[in-house]
Structures are given as structure tokens and as C-alpha cells.
Amino acid sequence: MTEQCEVLVVGGGLVGLSTAVFLAWHGVGTTVVERRPHELLHPRARAINPRTVELYRSVGLEEAILKGRSRVYDDRSEILYAETLTGEELRRVPMTPPAPPNGGDAVSPCPWAPIDQDKLEILVRARAEALGADVRFSTELVSLAHDETGVTATLAGGGRIRARYAIGADGHRSLVRDLLGIPATGPGGLGRTVNFVFTADLGQAMRGRHIGVAHLSEPEPGTVLLPHDGAGRWVLGIPYHPEQGQTLADFTPDRCAETVRAAAGLPGLAVTVEPQLADGTTALAYEIEGRVAQRFRAGRVFLVGDAAHVMPPTGAFGASTGIQDAHNLAWKLAAVLRGRAGDALLDTYDAERRPVADFTLRQALLQLVDRTGRPVPAEYLAEPCDYDAVVFGHTYRSAAVEAGEPLPAALPPHELTGQPGTRAPHVLVERYGLRHSILDLFGAAPVLLAAPKATEWAEAGHAAGVVTYLLDGDVQDVTGRFADVYGLTPEGAVLVRPDGFVAWRSPAGGHAELRDVVDRLLAL
């Protein structure tokens, strides 16, 4: 018997589960299959950026995520470079800063969320299931075939699922990508690391410092130490050299404990190494890679997250980039499945997200060189970009954005002024007596924001069946800065997509047929 669903997501890690949340929130029938029996216990990604928190906020997850934040990091946290934790410091720099100001206001209503990936996955899975997604662990994909009307997945044990579309969220060794025959470009493997979790009292070595990440040269360069829970649990990563004959079996609890003592500079330190998998495995190997798939779409199958791109962990870009892939794709799939958009809208997923992945990978590689000294081929490096521009300022050029002024790959937050192809800026508004971010108006469908005197645009929006808000009419502009921030006169308007990106802008009044603009946006 062949089961049916609208969208099949292959992979139940953070990005796959997030994909399920975003799709289910739009009312799309979603099934997730994951070959692992349960979530990994290892923390892996340690933080998601404010832009990603905004996306989770839109589907009701922000409060749970902020409650689940690690207490390890705060605005005093720093990155340490030293030989050992007790040794002489080479340098110390601030860890990821809070969102910068933008003309006196915050850039985002959301903060950074320092939350370990294992904890975040539990929250995201629960939200996906609460929204109606069918999440199945211990369910392995064997093959995938797609045709003009859908996708057929064959599972281990002989089960079959027929879906309208499928999404590969199955990691950097993606079976889905391999089955589609999609190659990847980039520097490839940049080294390997072994990670493990341990408990120890490092208070003496910390000396009152608030260290979020320590890059150490003992027991060998490339050693990284991170706090796990702020109460004595830590994560240590060291370079792994299987080409020199090393195996994971070499990393016994005793050897791992000695590695901790060397990194801390405390020979007599009491250390307990903790299991990371249910079978008692303590050390896990990871490859540091840099790759971007040459296509993110093949017919009715799409790639997201590490299946589409993999980047070094330096900079904390990887997880957030994958989650943003999922958010970009979900509203487009929902619109096509519900007949509100043409299939060509789905081509804009690749057109928009692949350049962002390439740009972000190059910035992560720069961070890798700066923080660890690992060599990276020069052709894969780019000019350094403002960090907050990478977080908030990537730009889109596609058929789902009305052509406007030429834009760079990313803009710093203070230069985001409502240009088509950029994230819609945050401003405070009041509705029904409650204050919130204007970003909270976006998510379900395209939204027209009309400046206070743009009554003609507001009327055009209503006539076109677009969700429309007239500032200082339907919602109140609390700071009086909306038109300024969005680059409008009091008679202007902007059309914002469900993912919070500006699709079209008319800085002043006019009589353009808004229905045509919406039809072009939705490929109708």
C-alpha cells in the first residue's frame, strides 16, 4: 500500500523539522522520515541568530526557544585565543554582539538565542507535531523517483509514500542529493574534528572570565572548548587525523580526559567523559567542509540545509542558513499547492537561496581562517563583510522580486530601507491597543503596507484581494518613522512577501495596477 501526503521531508534534524513546522503552519500535509531512532544528544550548533528567531516567532516558537536558552552565554561572553585555558592569552574578542541599533531603534524585535541544537530540535519537533506534521524516526529512505505529478519514495522494509513534492533535508551526505545526481562545488573537506562532552570543574582555569568559545593550541592547534550548560559540562573538539591511522576507537574516555587536561593546562584535573549516543558512544567525528550544491531544485524535489550547502561552524551561520532555506521554500510550496501561485514561483527558491548560500559560505570560510588558522584556497574567500550584514542583510534577485536598484550580496542593517529584495525593516506599531513589531504582520500571505496618506494604494490593495494595512489607520506607527524607514513618501506603499522580504515598492503615490504586481510575484 502506498501512503499519500502533500510534502515529504527526508531528514529529521533541525532543518528538516523546521521545514515541517513552516509547512504545517501553512496547512500543508507534511510527513518527515528520519533513519535515526531518535535525536542526537550532542549540542552541535550552539546558537541561532535574531533573523532566524524572527522566523520561529512567526510560527509561535519564540517564547519556548527563549525559555530554553542556555545560561552559558550573555553579553559579557568572549572568544579566547590561548595556548591552554590556564596559559597566557593571545587575544580575547567579544562573542556575537546583540543586534545593532538602526536609527535609534533595534534592528530586530528578537535577540540572539544561545540554545543547543539538541534542545532546539526537541522544541521544533513538538511544534511540528502540534501543527499536524507526521514525524517518523527509525524510517529510512531507500530510493526516490519523481515525475510530472509527484514523487514516490521507497522506504526500508518496503513501505512507499507518494507526495506532491519532496524535500531533501538529510545532511551533508544527502542521499536525496546523490539520487538526483546533483554535484556540489566549493573547497570540499577542510579537516576533521572529534567532539565529546565532559564534566569538570574549570573554575580555576576560567579565572572569572566569561568564555563562550576558547581556541587553544594544546594538545594541538585547532582545539576548541565550549561551555555546555554553565554548570560544569563542556564540549571539546580536537583535530582528527584518520589519514594518519587514527580511528574513533582511539578516543577512549581515558584519552579524552587526558586531552581535556592538556587543553586546560591542569594535569591533575578530575574529568568525566559523557556518552553522546544511546549505545554509550562518547566521541563523534565531524568533517569541516565547504560545499554548495549546483542546483537546489530538480523537478519536484528540493534541497535545504546541509543537503544544499555545508559550511564550517565558525560564525554560527550553518544552522540559521538552513532554517531560512526552509522558510523561503515553505510559503512558496504552500502557495502553489493551494493554487494561489504558479509553479514558476518554485524556481525562485534556487534563484534566491543558492547565491545566499555561496555568499555565506565564503564569509564562514573567512571566519575559519581568522579563528583557527586552517588553510582555505584563496579562490573560495571573499572580501570580509559586516557580520550583521550576513545575519540580516542578504539580498534576493528573482522573478519574485520586482526589479529595482542594483544591490550587493548583503547590506548592513542601517542600509535596509525597504528596497525590493531585502528584509522588511522592523518598526514598532500598535494594533488593537497592543504594541508589537511590524514583522508580526507578515507570514501567511503577501501584505501591502501603505503609508499614512496612501489611501489610493490601500484601496488598490483591497481591490486586489491583498492583505492591506494603512499606517495610522489600520495600525498605528508608534515612532512615526515607518515611511522614513521604508524609503517612502506619505503617499507610498510596499508589498511584503510572506517571508518578510520586500517584493515591490512605490515610494510615492501612483495608479499602477497592483493586481498585475501580485500576479507577477506569484507567477500567475
Bridge partners (DSSP) of residue 153 are 144, 161
Q: What is the DSSP string of 100-141?
A: PEETTEES-SS--B---HHHHHHHHHHHHHHTT-EEESS--E
> What is the predicted pLDDT for the residue at 102?
46
Query: Which pLDDT score, from 0 to 100, does residue 116 have?
Result: 83
The architecture CATH gives domain 390-521: 3-Layer(aba) Sandwich (3.40)
The predicted structure's pLDDT at residue 113: 86
From residue 324, how far is each of 49, 70, 281, 328, 447 by CA, in Å? 11, 22, 32, 6, 20
- At 373 the pLDDT is 76
- Please write the tens of the pLDDT for every residue from 136-181: 999 999 999 999 999 999 999 889 999 999 999 999 999 999 999 9
**More reliable by pLDDT, 524 or 98:** 524
Topology match between the domains 2-70+111-186+290-371 and 390-521? no
CATH of domain 2-70+111-186+290-371: 3.50.50.60
Q: What is residue 103's predicted lDDT score, i.e. its pLDDT?
A: 45
How much of the chain exceeds pLDDT 70, in percent? 95
Predicted local confidence at residue 27, as pLDDT: 97
Mean pLDDT on 286-296:
94
Backbone angles phi, psi at 273, to 5 degrees: -90, 130
- How is the chain split into domains, by residue range? 2-70+111-186+290-371, 390-521
At 327-385, the pLDDT tens digits run: 999 999 999 999 999 999 999 999 999 999 999 999 999 988 887 778 888 888 888 89
Span 503-519, average pLDDT: 87
Structure-block grid coordinates of residue 391: 545575519
| Res. 508: pLDDT tops 50 | yes
pLDDT band at 112 (very low <50, low <70, confident <90, very high): confident
Contact 199, 233 (CB under 8 A): yes
- In this predicted structure, the answer to whether residue 471 has a pLDDT above a threshold of 90 is yes
Predicted model pTM: 0.90
Mean pLDDT of 229-246: 87
* Burial state string for 223-248 with b = 16 or more CB within 10 A and e = fewer than 16: bbbbbbeeeebbbbbbbbeeeeeeee
Q: What is the mean pLDDT of the chain?
A: 91
Instruction: Pick the range with the lowest mean pLDDT from 37-41, 88-92, 211-215, 453-457.
Output: 37-41
- 6 contacts 28 by C-beta, under 8 angstroms: yes
